[in-house]
């Protein structure tokens, strides 16, 4: 199969698998959003909003993935015996580019962002960023309440200035000075300014302690190892015969998926456990960072409030949680905060 035909076949295969995947997962998504989430008061989506959201997600994901997959196939075809080096470089650059452009150009396609209004909270956040030398460029509130009652906060940006994003469901009265547009149920909900600052102290702790950079480095190392294994195995015909290609056809994309999903399954299992352990360690470190900023009590209060608002289950078996959860349980985090706070005193 020549390079041009290979790219066409890969695009068709990608579109087919993505389309089948959408229809396969749709009943579960509908049940999750309109039955489970709605039952517990979290779902805020109308059927029209949901359908439009799913269509946009499908179009955006394919518009991004089709050129990337085409380029990957092309690199494998022309790259020679060391194509995995060029492939690693290309995918690494693209992944960093997507991380950079997602919050600016892609996220606004799905949610509405507005600047956080001037006031004590904005001033306190700017002061905290300045204290930590965090290069804050923009401070936004995302109207997540149109989609769900769940709340969150995060920062984005790899190079230069960064932006902080707060879910309106996290803020008291959705961060609005004028609460006349809120329902009686919505009024008085959300975290206090001190609790929001504690949550941000935790999030900025991830930045200050280099957790984002470490995760990116780990991701790049994993990509390199995967591409090296792929370069050694993708020409073996049994891989393709195992999934129905008995005529000597060896589509690159199919070979890559077989190797990643099946051949590397033991590796993926071990890495998944290691990343869960690392993620939990990072969460404890970020909590400790916020505690050292003086937010131990407020962080504990915000964790409890968010856990209640999100109907989190309060008690898990320690080993079950360590195996399945990327974050320590609420009780584990509160206990650690108390221990660290006593050490400071």
Looking at residue 117, its pLDDT comes to: 87
- Phi, psi at 21, each rounded to 5°: -60, -40
- pLDDT tens figures, 103-151: 889 989 998 898 988 889 999 999 999 999 999 888 999 887 777 767 7
Asked which of 16-20, 74-78, 99-103 is least confident by mean pLDDT, the reply is 99-103
pLDDT above 60 for 3: no
For residue 203, the model assigns a pLDDT of 94
- The CATH number of the structural domain formed by 113-190 is 3.30.2010.10
pLDDT of 9 reads: 87
Assess whether pLDDT exceeds 80 at residue 179.
no
Residue 85's pLDDT is 96
- The residue annotated as part of the active site, out of 287, 288, 298, 309, is 287
Percent of the chain with pLDDT over 90: 56
Q: Read off the pLDDT of each residue in 268-292 and give the average, rounded to a whole number.
A: 95
The whole-number average pLDDT for the span 152-176 is 80
- Please check the confidence at residue 344 and state whether its pLDDT lies above 80: no
For 224-257, the pLDDT digits (tens) are 999 999 999 999 999 988 888 877 788 899 999 9
With beta carbons less than 8 A apart as the criterion, state whether 177 and 70 touch: no
Mean pLDDT of the chain: 88
> Do the beta carbons of residue 50 and residue 27 sit within 8 Å?
no
CA distances in angstroms from 89 to 57, 187, 191, 284, listed in the order given: 27, 50, 43, 33
Q: Where are the domains of the chain?
A: 1-110, 113-190, 214-345
Q: SS3 letters for the chain? A: CCHHHHHHHHHHHHHHHHHHHHHHHHHHHHHHHHHHHHHCCCECCCHHHHHHHHHHHHHHHHHHHHHHHHHHHHHHHHCHHHHHHHHHHHHHHHHHHHHHHHHHHHHHHCCCEEECCCCHHHHHHHHHHHHCCCCEEEEEEECHHHCECCCCEEEECCCCCEEEEEEHHHEHHHHCCCHHHCCCCCCCCCECHHHHHHHHHHHHHHHHCCHHHHHHHHHHHHHHHHHHHHHHHCCCHHHHHCCCCCCCCCCHHHHHHHHHHHHCHHHHHHHHHHHHHHHHHHHHHHHHHHHHHHHHHHHHHHHHHHHHHCCCCCCCCHHHHHHHCCCCCHHHHHHHHHHHHHHHC
Reference 254, options 268, 266, 237; nearest CA is 237
pLDDT at 307: 87
More confident position, 1 or 273:
273
**153-156 and 113-115 as β-strands: parallel, antiparallel, unpaired?**
unpaired
Q: Which residues are annotated as a binding site?
A: 202, 206, 283
Binding residues for Zn(2+): 202, 206, 283
pLDDT digits (tens, 9 = 90+) for 102-115: 888 998 999 889 89
At 221, the pLDDT band (50, 70, 90 cuts) reads very high
What is the pLDDT, as a whole number, of residue 311?
A: 80
Q: Partners of 89 in the beta sheet?
A: none
Q: Catalytic site residue 203?
A: yes
In this prediction the pTM is: 0.86
Give the Cα separation of 286 and 51 in Å (integer).
Answer: 37
C-beta separation of 258 from 252 below 8 A: no
Contact between 153 and 196 (Cβ < 8 Å): yes
Residue 2, pLDDT above cutoff 70:
no
**Best-predicted range by mean pLDDT (195-209, 298-312, 315-329):** 195-209
Give me the catalytic one of 195, 203, 288, 309. Answer: 203
Lowest mean pLDDT among 38-47, 149-158, 191-200, 282-291: 149-158
């Amino acid at each position: 199969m020549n390079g041009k035909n290979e790219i066409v076949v890969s695009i068709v295969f990608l579109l087919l698998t993505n389309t089948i995947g959408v229809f396969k997962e749709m009943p579960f998504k509908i049940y999750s959003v309109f039955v489970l989430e709605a039952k517990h008061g979290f779902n805020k989506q109308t059927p029209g909003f949901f359908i439009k959201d799913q269509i946009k997600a499908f179009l955006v994901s394919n518009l991004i993935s089709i050129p990337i997959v085409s380029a990957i196939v092309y690199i494998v075809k022309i790259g020679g015996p060391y194509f995995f080096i060029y492939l690693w470089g290309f995918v690494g650059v693209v992944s960093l580019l997507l991380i950079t452009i997602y919050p600016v150009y892609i996220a606004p396609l799905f949610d509405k962002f507005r600047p956080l209004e001037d006031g004590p909270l904005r001033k306190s956040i700017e002061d905290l960023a300045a204290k930590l030398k965090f290069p804050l460029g923009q401070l936004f509130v995302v109207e997540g309440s149109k989609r769900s009652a769940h709340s969150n906060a995060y920062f984005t940006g790899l190079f230069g200035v960064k932006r902080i994003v707060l879910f309106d469901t996290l803020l008291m009265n959705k961060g609005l000075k004028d609460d006349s547009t809120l329902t009686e149920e919505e009024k008085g909900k959300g975290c206090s300014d001190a609790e929001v600052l504690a949550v941000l102290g935790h999030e900025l702790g991830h930045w200050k302690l280099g957790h984002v950079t470490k995760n990116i480095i780990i991701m790049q190392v994993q990509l390199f190892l995967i591409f090296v294994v792929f370069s050694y195995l993708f020409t073996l015909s049994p891989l393709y015969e195992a999934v129905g290609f008995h005529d000597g056809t060896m589509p690159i994309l199919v070979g890559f998926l077989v190797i990643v999903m099946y051949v590397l399954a033991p590796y993926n299992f071990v890495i998944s456990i290691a990343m869960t352990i690392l993620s939990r360690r990072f969460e404890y470190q970020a909590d400790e960072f916020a505690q050292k900023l003086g937010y131990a009590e407020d962080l504990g209060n915000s964790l409890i409030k968010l856990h209640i608002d999100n109907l989190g289950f309060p008690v898990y078996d320690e080993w079950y949680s360590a195996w399945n959860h990327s974050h320590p349980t609420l009780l584990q985090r509160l206990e650690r905060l108390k221990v660290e706070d006593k050490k400071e005193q």
